[in-house]
Structure 1
Amino acid sequence: MSQPVESPQGAQRKLESVVKSIRDYGENPSAFLAVNEGNEHFEGSGQGFITYRRAGGYFIQFGGVFAPKEQQRTLLDEFGRYARSQRRKIVGIQLQQTDVELFAAAGFTVNQVGSSYSVHLPEFTLRGTRFMKLRNKISRAKRSGLEVRELPYDEDVRNRIGEIDRHWLRSKGKHVKEIEFLVGQMGGPAQEYRRLFVGLIEDRPVAYISYSPAYGSRPGWLHDLSRRLPDVMPGVMEAINAAAIERFTEERAEWLHFGFTPFTGLDPECEVPGNSALTGKFMRLLAQKGGSVYPAATQLAYKEKWGPHSVLPEYLAFQGGASFGAIWQVLRVTKSI
């Protein structure tokens, strides 16, 4: 039987409901990624939702449970029953410390999978010897004629930065796919909530960074999708981000989040009682030798150069016990392999 097609009005109401739940209950700085096209949203008997994608025999759940604290366990249990009715198991990815107790109490095996990095904007400064190299890179980019503008993502801009996307993907190699699910998107119904900063040379876009809103106890912006032309000079991305930081600071935003990087900041003290020792060993192996799976070292170097004020562990949760099959499906749904 074919599924009914949702009307544009119905889709807009659904988006507004999801965004409201993220705003009200989304403690995860990356929570806005839940609105990505291709995600599904499970709503139970109460308020809020759970976002997920299907992969093999699993529901890959993203970012925890977006619901009032007192309703989270009920919603998670309802989602578990739905998964069983579909003959699937749940794997939760990019869970926060605040989610760990909830998932562990519901019988999940929980392991640290990486860390997230954030800058507190009222404290942030590029002054001092620590940031001398960063300042120099930004200065060189500006001297080359770089101009940074915040632009609307209209048809003209979409067409102009499309060249960046095409060259960026081509430079990654013939068989490389764009990573999905744990990174944001450009365009679509949720674009109105995002902000786009573009670097231009002689009015030609050469790089851009998209920022998504962040809510919860550390509100601000998430440094999300970023791309540049392969032959652009060093310092362009840093100059774009510095311009965005200046704008956000003027607007009195509290935090700039650089988001989640898997296989980084792994710490035995952050592990949860009842975790899978074998999974922990596998994560540490990926941290050392997993560059071909995910460019964690490159991402970490970029994030650390901004002197993050907060580094928090993030977790992976397995329903019914850890398995390499579940980890494989997480890598598959994110197109990391």
Structure 2
Amino acid sequence: MPSAPPRLEDVRTALERHADNPSAFLALNTRTEYFREEGLDGVIAYRTAGRRLVQFGGPFAAAEDRAPLLAAFQAHARSTRRKLMAVQLQRDDAELYARQGFTVNQIGASYAIDLERFTLRGSKFVRLRNKISRARRSGLVVTEADPLEVDAELTELDRDWLRGKGRFAKELAFLIGERTGEAAPLRRLFVGRIEGEVIGYISYSPVYGTRPGWLHDLTRRRREAPPGVMEAINAQAVQTFCEDGAAWLHLGFTPFTGLDGEHEVASASPMVGKVVRFLAEHGEKVYPSATQVAYKEKWDPHAVLPEYLAFDGGASLGAILALMRLTNAI
């Protein structure tokens, strides 16, 4: 039988001890549900989407408890007559899920910078340095801010940003971070201002595991912001993180990118593979993958890590659509 739902602090502790997923901190997002099993050291994060349970990341658990915890969650889903799927799995997760009968496909990749090797010097960064300089010449001032102190300003900026996306646009959810909620004090926020007005911001979340550091997560900018604002904000954050001794800056997961047949596992679905490749080529209206990857590649990341989607009981187009609705992609 599953144990009682954990407190948020217990989930955070489990992430610190066991998570090796650079996006694991997003498991603390508001409205996330949690599953534990008595006697097992770990937790599973998920959302309920109709008749489906959509798990985020793999089991955040001790090595010996990962497989038993996943098996218990599979049994829980079946006992409630819900279908189980999981998203943003890492390679080790993908192999575990394949062994336990899931259909597993690569869905995208995440990108990361080794801060010990990071530099903006050299010819490859000329354009990036020029954009940052242009933003600074416009009067941009970047500072680290307390989320509570600037909440009203950022809320207004968020509204402006969303209006710029079009009448029917919705904010993406579930696989992207927040700047509010119980976990907000654990994040770091860098804000850009011109003549005192907030023009853009980036929120960073803690990353645990073998590549510890920070996750470049939620970003917003005003429609009239000059070019280079987000790059200048991130450059200031990188400088701060380096001074603090952080090891890695993770640029986050982007779906439908970094796809390679060599990354697939034995249980991959040809149908899902075709859908993912189609979205990689034609899905810019669903998710701006090309724009995101172009921004990330500006920083010359040192690691590109495949991420996976898994289905218990076989893949289906309906499951993919359910995930897209859950994330507000459609």
TM range (shorter): over 0.9
Partners of 2:253 and 2:280 in 1: CA distance: 14
2:151 is the counterpart of 1:158: yes
2:57 is the counterpart of 1:63: yes
In the other structure, the counterpart of 2:280 is 287
In the other structure, the counterpart of 2:94 is 100
Partners of 2:315 and 2:181 in 1: CA distance: 35
2:192 is the counterpart of 1:199: yes
Which residue of the other structure, out of 161, 164, 175, is the alignment partner of 1:171?
164
CA RMSD of aligned residues (A): 1.1
In the other structure, the counterpart of 1:87 is 81
Which residue identity does 2:223 align to in structure 1?
Answer: P
In the other structure, the counterpart of 1:186 is 179
In the other structure, the counterpart of 1:44 is 37
**Structure 1 unaligned residues grouped into runs of 5+:** 1-9
Q: How many residues align?
A: 326
My pick for the range that moved more, 219-228 or 38-47, is 38-47
In the other structure, the counterpart of 1:3 is none
List, as ranges, runs of 4+ consecutive aligned residues in structure 1 with deviation greater than 4 Å.
Answer: none
Which residue of the other structure, out of 212, 224, 230, is the alignment partner of 1:219?
212
2:310 is the counterpart of 1:317: yes
2:128 is the counterpart of 1:134: yes
Q: For residue 312 of structure 1, report the CA deviation from its aligned partner.
A: 0.9
User: Any conservation in 1 of the 2:109–2:254 contact (CA below 8 Å)?
Assistant: yes
In the other structure, the counterpart of 2:105 is 111
Partners of 2:23 and 2:164 in 1: CA distance: 27
2:120 is the counterpart of 1:143: no
Where 1:122 maps in the other structure, the secondary structure is: coil
In the other structure, the counterpart of 1:7 is none
Deviations 1:63-108 (A, max 9, x none): 1100001001111111111111111111110000011121011100
In the other structure, the counterpart of 1:269 is 262
Q: For residue 274 of structure 1, report the CA deviation from its aligned partner.
A: 2.3
User: Any conservation in 1 of the 2:102–2:267 contact (CA below 8 Å)?
Assistant: no
Which residue identity does 1:242 align to in structure 2?
Answer: A
Which residue of the other structure, out of 70, 92, 97, is the alignment partner of 1:76?
70
Which residue identity does 1:314 align to in structure 2?
Answer: E
2:47 is the counterpart of 1:53: yes
Q: For residue 56 of structure 1, report the CA deviation from its aligned partner.
A: 2.4
2:276 is the counterpart of 1:298: no
Partners of 1:329 and 1:290 in 2: CA distance: 16
Which residue identity does 2:59 align to in structure 1?
Answer: V
Partners of 1:229 and 1:310 in 2: CA distance: 30
Deviations 1:261-282 (A, max 9, x none): 0000110111111211111111
Where 1:23 maps in the other structure, the secondary structure is: helix
In the other structure, the counterpart of 2:230 is 237
Which residue identity does 1:94 align to in structure 2?
Answer: Q
Partners of 2:159 and 2:170 in 1: CA distance: 12
Which residue identity does 1:190 align to in structure 2?
Answer: A
In the other structure, the counterpart of 1:15 is 8
Identical residues among aligned pairs (%): 56
Partners of 1:189 and 1:163 in 2: CA distance: 21
Where 1:75 maps in the other structure, the secondary structure is: helix
Where 2:73 maps in the other structure, the secondary structure is: helix
